[in-house]
Structure 1
């Protein structure tokens, strides 16, 4: 290749750079390109004239690793200042060359002139700061073509690792392989974009589980806004934080000894279940279970034996319940069971199964086989019940009735809807009750 063979470049009115496809070195540029980039010479690495970021993005296009993407808008650090430039590649394969046609955005025309040294140094410093921030930063033009992404963005989503120069639409395919999840995320994103456009000074946020470059799904929190037509998104990985929060929630709602829910969590869940049952006009039952003669176990064999019995009873209860049922330890030897969508008959069936499971095998403690049994009181939601506290109080009364009736038994109050309804008394019954 001779200098004369590229003389035609100087005759073109548009800014042109000719780049060696093998090493991304600029071999020629015309006067328009020198003026646009603020450089008296165009002999050197592509990164010398556009900055490392833009050069890295252009390299896959220059060497033919990816197909032509039309005009590519990139954030550049030129010898003349910071600028956003458009690039259209045209490869000459037989000479291992790529011709880049450059275009300056009108809004950024002032940045194409040489700035004062202090401002230029500040811009370079600012770029380096943004590039090394511990949060992801991406900038897109009005058509959602990428202008800039920093190091953490590349690390998390991997654009720089596969040579792909993304449009924002490409990200949805990467981050959400599942069609339904992708559709939900896009719908949510569009709604928030409308909010941002309606209130330009505000920042909207979203949090999604996203597939990342390393093949793992991570929980990522995004915050985004528009400055003019430029779209800016900042994001960070909150997977570990959410895991710790969930672990703390679990610990806060878990009984340490038995592993069941604790009293606080039971009442929270019961309140939610009652509200849902009331709204959907469905059934809801509650059981209260008390281990019979538990004090004598503690007194005779010690508290360690009592703890072993509590843990074993809790495990047997969990094994006997259905999917969707919830068991909690709400007192010393007292347990509560929440039975969604369950009427009086279903509640009694579950309760009888619990009794059978609890007493089926003695609990082995220090060589002693301790027989264990329990009493259970239950109730179900009535039409005039207006709070879950009413059900819990009624289940407590049923439990006392079971213990008073000899223990190791189930009592459900009322027995049926009919029993709960006020009964009309005939003349003979009214006379017996002194009502006529």
Structure 2
């Protein structure tokens, strides 16, 4: 066998020529992450510790030290996040940073499949279904199989799309997922399995892929054609992954494939900030990273730039109760600030009245309403407070989810009340008729 020789980079010589003062611009923990040598690196970035800044400087550092930008992959959860990071890196260094392969998992996989889909039986011109399109296809198949008949409480199209997507992302059997999240549809398991198989066949026959397929089919491509895997992974000299705690099973598997040639992968995330389980995110991925990538270098970002010391003291105390965690302790140079207060509420009604009362008291102290915010775990938890705010004529803007008055079931009830008041209300009648089996969908 022929001997292979590799010319090693003189890191010290390269570092002396850098145009950016990385040590001066970053704190010691950020600097360690930005300048980490090749190989697998897991950066545990606490809230407000400059995670995005660290990734931006990492991109600039890799480009400045000689990595071709086209061989750097930055995977984020929104296209906007990737664009902003690369634009900041370009402003920091130069336009080369904008040639980095940056985007979402789905966009990156779509680009791969456009070149190689024929190897798994799809044309390169396949169409991509968004969630609404996928739901419409399922509705057509639902009707074709007779699952829509009156009197049958079969899941509607959006529920079907969410159910099949969750099964794919979580790698869960339909039976287990129904027991866990959709117990009202357990009796339809056989019909749902039939429908899912028909959905797969329909997409294949019509050259369609939904968002989940972009990940599934890319994995299929890599696992059935090792030449393609090596070719794609060979162009991924450095793989950077943002918000790793929010990756699902498929995304974590893809990261392993992307890094399978060079082995240079940096995952950035925080085990204490995983909030997207309902979308299929699996926080266990961040704990499994060192096992899946032997020799992982573990780094931490702990200096917080967002909060004051009393808030961080409380956060550190609460995080100490986590049964499974990476040990870290957030700290800040921002002293002072009010201590957080805990107000025990016996029920939702009390809680809503208390919050509304505090809003009015703060306004009396000269704090404008647009400088106040109420955070909720999920949008449906706002309904009691919305009723209370409306009762007290306190204007508000809701971000995420629908206002109470815009929720479908509330609009259904209001439609009935409107036709009682005005029998000529055609819009209300249309909504009511849509609810009647044999007339509506």
Determine which structure has the larger strand proportion and give its number: 1
TM-score (norm 1): 0.21
TM-score (norm 2): 0.21
Determine which structure has the larger helix proportion and give its number: 2
Structure number, greater radius of gyration: 1
Higher RCO (CA-CA < 8 Å; seq separation 6+): 2
